[in-house]
Amino acid sequence: MKNMALPLLFLALFLGAGSCEKDDAQPAASQCNLPACDPGRKTIAKVRDAIGIVGYRNGRYAISVGQPGTYDSQVTGIVCQMPDKFKVNGSKVTFNGEYKEYCPDTVQKDTVPQFPGQIFYYLHLTNIHLTDTL
C-alpha cells in the first residue's frame, strides 16, 4: 500500500495542475481597445420589446431592466445614441436594440457594477417609445 501512495500523489498533482484555466472576466483586449459605442464590438444579445427605466450616470444615459424571477439582478444598457425625447431620468420605456460587449470604466466608478447581480452592456437602440407598464 505504501508503494502506491507516492505514484498516486504524483498523479493527483499532475491532474490538478493540468486542469487550471485562466478565468478572464474582461473581454479580449482588442474589444476593450475599441471606442465605447463602436458598432464593431461583439453583440451579446438582441432585445425586443424590453421594458426598462431610463437613468443618467456621469453624462451617459442608460436603460436598466430587471431580470424576471430575481430580486437583485439587473441589466443596464449604456445607450450609445439616446434620442433627445427620451432623455428624462426615471422614464419608463419599451425598446428594441442590441447589447454590445462592455468593458468596465475604472475611472467612472458608477459604470462599474455596484452589486453582484448588475451587468452592463453598451446598448444600440433600433426602436424606443414611452410606456406606462413596468
Residue 75 near residue 34 (C-beta atoms within 8 A)? no
Domain count, the chain: 1
Residue 61 near residue 55 (C-beta atoms within 8 A)? yes
Residue 92 structural domain: 2-130
Q: How confident is the model at residue 62 (pLDDT cuts 50, 70, 90)?
A: very high
Model confidence pLDDT, tens digit, residues 7-54: 444 444 444 554 454 545 555 555 778 888 899 999 999 999 999 999
The phi and psi torsions of 115 (rounded to 5 degrees) equal -150, 160
First and final C-alpha spacing in the chain: 67
Residue 55, strand partner residues = 62
Three cell numbers at 88? 428624462
pTM of the model: 0.72
Model confidence pLDDT, tens digit, residues 63-95: 999 988 887 889 999 999 999 999 999 999 999
Report the C-alpha dihedral over residues 104, 109, 113, 116, rounded to 10 degrees: 130
